[in-house]
Structure formats: structure tokens, C-alpha cells
Amino acid sequence: MSVEAALAERLGLRDRTLRYNLSKEELFHEAIANDRGRIRPDGPDDEQKAHATQLGVEGPLVYYTDPSCTGRPVNDTFAVAWPEIEGSVWWKNSLKAYDPTAYEGLLRRVVEHVNGRDKQLYVKDVFVGVDAEYAVPYRFVGEYATHALFAHNMFPKEVPGARDSDDVRWTMLNVPSFHCEPERDGSLSRRVVIIDFRNRICLVAGRADYCGVNKKTIFTVMNYMLPESGMLPMHCAANVGADEDAAILFGLSGTGKTTLSADPDRRLIGDDETAWTDSGISNLEDGCYAKLIDLDKEAEPIIAAALSMPGTIIENVPALPGKPMEETDPQDLDLTDRSITENTRFSYPLDCNPNVAEGARGSHPQTIVLLTADAFGVLPPISILNGEEVMYHFVQGFTSKLAGTEVGVTAPQATFSSCFGAPFMSQRPEVYAKLLRDKMEKHQARCVLLNTGWQGGPAGQAPRISIKDTRNLLNAALRGDLHRDGAEYAEHPIFRLRMPKQCEGVDPNVLDPRSSWRDTAAYDVAAEKLRDMFRANFKKGGFGDLGSDPLA
């Protein structure tokens, strides 16, 4: 079936000019010429959203989202509550139920809106997943060439052996120019992101033009589908060493997932979305979507170099004062500028990394790393976890926000995100936790909790754990040093975590967080306070079915 016929049958789109599977160079020029919308809070809806730099088509595309959508619009993200899936979806604030009748009416109106506009649509056919065992064909259809270029960067274009037919294909319709009317459409605001599991449709309408919507929405789909086949979708980075020793690194934003997975001595599988199947681990995507704020170019040379590569997308980094973007070298951009958002981003193909694992896949992981960035200065730099503790810390998904990074945050705040990616997890956390433990035990994987946060006191009063110590701790974990027979541990008095007493290249005094505080009584108070936050979140999440709470 032709693309035109498929879109008419699936969505009702008719007589549209389709710009189908354009190259990244063509999409670059189309984005600059045609992507128009709001980029300032009080600005018009026809401003230029995409710009070239001094490098032209040989460099990145700089793109500006609507100022109300500089991150994933979690409060406006839904799934259609069809009867056949209503009981299995993990309904929550970041994935609410949408009335089926209201959805059908809204979809019809969005399609009528598109059919009535004399505008071209950009269509890009890709796959989600590099492994034919589970890869799903994914068709992006939208108003912005930038979004089609993003899909080109972030997803594999071919997966040998994968089914590529309309009966399994998912389609995203992305229409920023349509604004919802809540009373009529059943939405909560003038924008929506809706997953329709029955008809394999992702609908994005209104001011939801953050590039990440185009990948996180379909990953939410995969997070629902893969466990049905006994496969584990994971919000994690993955890499593999010279001895084919694979590792996965779970972690929320700011914990170091992208930085630590980009190891010159290990081949990268991916930095964000990974599947663990009976064959091993593999990337769900073909690109990277890294945070740019405060990027240290010396510490992260791969990302820094990709800033100047053709076809990449720099999102929401402001222009330099008094200098047009078209005259700016991308290496000169101020990556500390938060005037648009804290969440500045960068999309680039996986092959911008010089050391990618063949096929972006690897064997069953030998090491599982749960990353956290404890701004309270309480948790050990590294802890050894058994299967029960893995499940406990996995469903908790703890990290912390720092003072000053968000409006209203004046002191460190605990953040709990189940499975280290709760907004994208469409089944209950227990589903993923049990799969993780089963696979970990079947393949005899070891696990550590690696803290990249602060030591000697809370953030603002003490330094962050050095990247050198973090690297040495991670390398020791990857080698298996911390799990060897004869390794000695101390037990944390409050969190009951096993802390290694020795690690090559790390001062033993660093390994026990209590000893790094001048005021050990203050440490105990801080640790007990954080422990109580863990207990409260475990109870709130209803995670008792997983077994005993190690902090009870």
C-alpha cells in the first residue's frame, strides 16, 4: 500500500502534499524555510523556529520550541482508555486515561484541520529498536521538518529481518498548529499527547513541539509492549568492554548516565533506551539526545565534537548577544545560558560516537549500575546490591534536585522516579522490577548503586564526588573487583547498604560517607531524614508485593 493510501486509511488524511523520507540535508533546508511557530511567550505563531549556524548545512540545525514546552508535557500526556488495556496500564499523573469517545472526536477534528490547510506534511519512516526480534516500524507524520530530522537522527532507518508492514506499524501525527479546546475535546489544556494502543496511533496536537516528545511517546509504547513478550525495556545506557562484558547504567537526568557510558575503553550500545531480551541487550534507538546545559567540553569531547557535525539538532540554546545565529560558530555558543530553559538539548546520530558496538547490541550484561546523584551527601559513593535490594532501589529510582535548577527549589529535594523513568513506564513498576531480577539472577549479573552526588555535606556546603573517583569506582565494578571472593564490606548503619572497604585508585576514607562529614551527628540526622523519605515513597507506591522493605 502506498504511503498516501495508508495515511488515508489509518488517519483519514487526503490530498496532502507529503514530503516523504527526505534526506537530512533536504530536511535541514526545509526546516529553515518552513518551520514556523511561537518561540517567545508573547510572540506570534509565525516566527522562524529553525536556524543555520556559520557552518550552514555542514553544521547543526538550531531549533527553538514553544516557550511553554521546553520539556516533555507530562501533565498533558494520555493513553486512550480502551477496555482491553484499561486494567494493565499504570495510570498516573504523567499518563492519564483519555475518554475513547472524546479521543475519536478530537482525532477527527485534528485530521479535518490538517486536510483544510494548504501545508505540506513531512513523513519519515523509521524503526524503534535495532533488533528484528522486537523492532517496530514507526512512521512520523508532522508539520515540522525539524521533527522529521529528529526522527532521522534518533531511529534506525533499516532493521534487517524486521516486519515492515502496515498491520504492525505505529504512526505519529504531530500537529502543533491545532489548538485543543478542553470543554469540547476532553483535554486539560490546549495541547495533548495521546497514545492509542488499539489503533497504533500517537497523536500530538497543540504547543507540544519539544523534540523529545517524538521519541519518548513511542518509547512509552514499547515499555508497554515488550514485557508482554518477556522482554525488558529499560531507561538506561549500555556499553560493552573488550572482553564482550556488557553493562547497563540506569539513571535519571543529571546522574551521569550519558557521560559515564561514553567510555573510550568500552563500545557504546546506547545512552538512553535499551531492551534486554533472550538474546542480550540492544538499543531501541539510533541516536543520542543529550542535555547541553553546562556541558564540560573537556570531560565530554564526543558531545562537544558533535556540536559541529552536519544534521545534528541543537535545541533551545540562545543566540549570542548581538550576533545572528547564522554568523555563529556552534562551538562558541554559551552552553551555560539558561535564559530559555535549564533543559537545553542536543540530538545527534549514534555514529557521531567514534566507538559504537556493532549493531548497537551486546551480550547479557555482567554488571548492572543504578546511578543516583544524592545532593544530601548521605549515600555511599558505591554500594553492593543483592537481588532484593536491586528491586527495592529500582522501583524507588532515587535522585535529587539541586537548589536553583528549578523555580522554587531552594534546597536539595528528593526525587523518586520508579524504574529510573516513571513517566515513560506504562505498566506497573513491579512488572519491570521482577523482569530485571529474573534476568539478573538467570545471567548471574552483579549490581551496584553508584552515587555521583555530594560528599562531606549537602550540595552547596560540600563538593561533588570527583569524576576521577566515580570513574575508578565504576571501573572496579565493571571488572568485578568489588564482588570478588574475599572482598570486605562495611554495612551502612542506617541504609544497611554494603560498602566496600577498598577500591583501587580511591582513598578508603571516601568509601564511607559518614566519615567525610566533620559533624557526624549532623550526618546521622540527614541520613535518617533521607531514609524516612525512602520509607514514605515505598509505602506511597504500594511496593509491598515485591517483598520486604530493607529499610523497614
CA nearest to 104, candidates 194, 220, 182, 14:
194
The pLDDT of residue 12 = 95
CA nearest to 75, candidates 59, 49, 94:
94
Q: Which of 38, 124, 191, 257 is catalytic?
A: 257
Other CB atoms within 10 Å distance of the CB of residue 284: 30
| pLDDT tens per residue across span 43-69 | 999 999 999 999 999 999 999 999 999
The pLDDT of residue 458 = 92
| pLDDT above 80: residue 404 | no
Q: 134-138, 213-217, 295-299, 491-495 — which is least confidently predicted?
A: 295-299
The pLDDT of residue 298 = 86
* Residue predicted with more confidence, 433 or 548: 433
At 366, the amino acid letter reads Q
Output the DSSP codes for 153-217. Answer: HHS-S--TT---STTT-EEEEEETT----HHHH--SSS-EEEEETTTTEEEEESS---TTHHHHH
Average pLDDT over residues 444-466: 94
| pLDDT above 90: residue 235 | yes
**What whole-number distance in Å separates Cα of residue 274 and Cα of residue 281?**
7
| pLDDT tens per residue across span 510-538 | 999 999 999 999 999 999 999 999 999 99
The pLDDT of residue 548 = 59
The pLDDT of residue 545 = 73
Can 345 be counted among the known catalytic residues?
yes
Q: Which of 51, 152, 235, 401 is catalytic?
A: 235
Average pLDDT over residues 286-314: 91
| pLDDT above 90: residue 143 | yes
* Residue predicted with more confidence, 271 or 132: 132
Between β-strands 446-451 and 367-372, what pairing exists: parallel, antiparallel or unpaired?
parallel
CATH 3.90.228.20 domain extents, the chain: 366-546
Q: Which of 36, 51, 72, 200 is catalytic?
A: 72
At 75, the amino acid letter reads N
Average pLDDT over residues 79-83: 98
CATH 3.40.449.10 domain extents, the chain: 3-32+74-229
**What whole-number distance in Å separates Cα of residue 486 and Cα of residue 500?**
11
The total number of residues written for the chain in this structure: 552
Residue 353 banded pLDDT, cuts 50, 70, 90: confident
Record the cell numbers describing residue 397, joined without a space: 529510582
CA nearest to 287, candidates 266, 268, 309, 270:
270
- Helices (H) then strands (E): counts for the chain: 13, 28
The pLDDT of residue 405 = 41
| pLDDT above 50: residue 407 | no
Mean pLDDT value across the chain: 93
| pLDDT above 70: residue 362 | yes
Residue 406 banded pLDDT, cuts 50, 70, 90: very low
C-alpha distances out from residue 1 to 8, 42, 148, 165, 198, Å:
11, 44, 21, 9, 21
Angle at CA 30, nearest 5°, toward 25 and 31?
Answer: 100
Q: CATH 3.30.70.20: does it fit domain 366-546? A: no
Q: Which of 35, 185, 209, 272 is catalytic?
A: 272
**What whole-number distance in Å separates Cα of residue 341 and Cα of residue 297?**
20
**What whole-number distance in Å separates Cα of residue 550 and Cα of residue 7?**
52
CA nearest to 450, candidates 388, 504, 499:
499
| pLDDT tens per residue across span 12-27 | 999 889 999 999 999 9
| pLDDT tens per residue across span 94-131 | 999 999 999 999 999 999 999 999 899 999 999 999 99
The pLDDT of residue 377 = 95
Can 483 be counted among the known catalytic residues?
no
CA nearest to 35, candidates 171, 176, 140:
176
**What whole-number distance in Å separates Cα of residue 492 and Cα of residue 511?**
11
**What whole-number distance in Å separates Cα of residue 394 and Cα of residue 429?**
9
Q: Which of 216, 393, 439, 498 is catalytic?
A: 216
Residue 408 banded pLDDT, cuts 50, 70, 90: very low
Average pLDDT over residues 305-312: 94
pTM of the predicted structure, to 2 decimals: 0.92
Instruction: Give percent of the chain above pLDDT 70.
Output: 97
Question: 75-98: string of b/e by CB count within 10 Å (b at 16+)?
Answer: ebbbbbbbeebeeebbeeebbbeb
Q: Which of 16, 49, 152, 345 is catalytic?
A: 345
Q: Are 50 and 35 in contact (CB under 8 A)?
A: yes
Can 393 be counted among the known catalytic residues?
no
The pLDDT of residue 439 = 96
| pLDDT above 60: residue 552 | no
Question: Which letter does DSSP use for residue 14 in this model?
Answer: -
**What whole-number distance in Å separates Cα of residue 113 and Cα of residue 14?**
12
Output the DSSP codes for 423-489. Answer: GG--S-HHHHHHHHHHHHHHTT-EEEEEE-SB-SSSBTTBPBPPHHHHHHHHHHHHHTGGGSTT--E
**What whole-number distance in Å separates Cα of residue 340 and Cα of residue 332?**
17
Which residues have a Cβ under 8 Å from the Cβ of 413 and sit 6 or more positions away?
Answer: 375, 400, 401
Can 235 be counted among the known catalytic residues?
yes
Residue 169 phi, psi (nearest 5)? -70, 140
Can 72 be counted among the known catalytic residues?
yes
According to CATH, the superfamily of the domain at 3-32+74-229 is Phosphoenolpyruvate Carboxykinase, domain 1 (3.40.449.10)
| pLDDT above 50: residue 409 | no
Q: Are 372 and 399 in contact (CB under 8 A)?
A: yes
Can 215 be counted among the known catalytic residues?
no
Residue the block writes with cell 562558541 = 332
State the DSSP H helix or E strand holding residue 280, giving kind and residue range, or none if neither: strand 280-283
Q: Which of 171, 258, 261, 417 is catalytic?
A: 258
Q: Which of 68, 88, 189, 253 is catalytic?
A: 253
**What whole-number distance in Å separates Cα of residue 412 and Cα of residue 453?**
11
Helix 429-442 × helix 387-396 angle, to 10° = 150
The pLDDT of residue 301 = 85
**What whole-number distance in Å separates Cα of residue 176 and Cα of residue 205?**
5
Can 253 be counted among the known catalytic residues?
yes
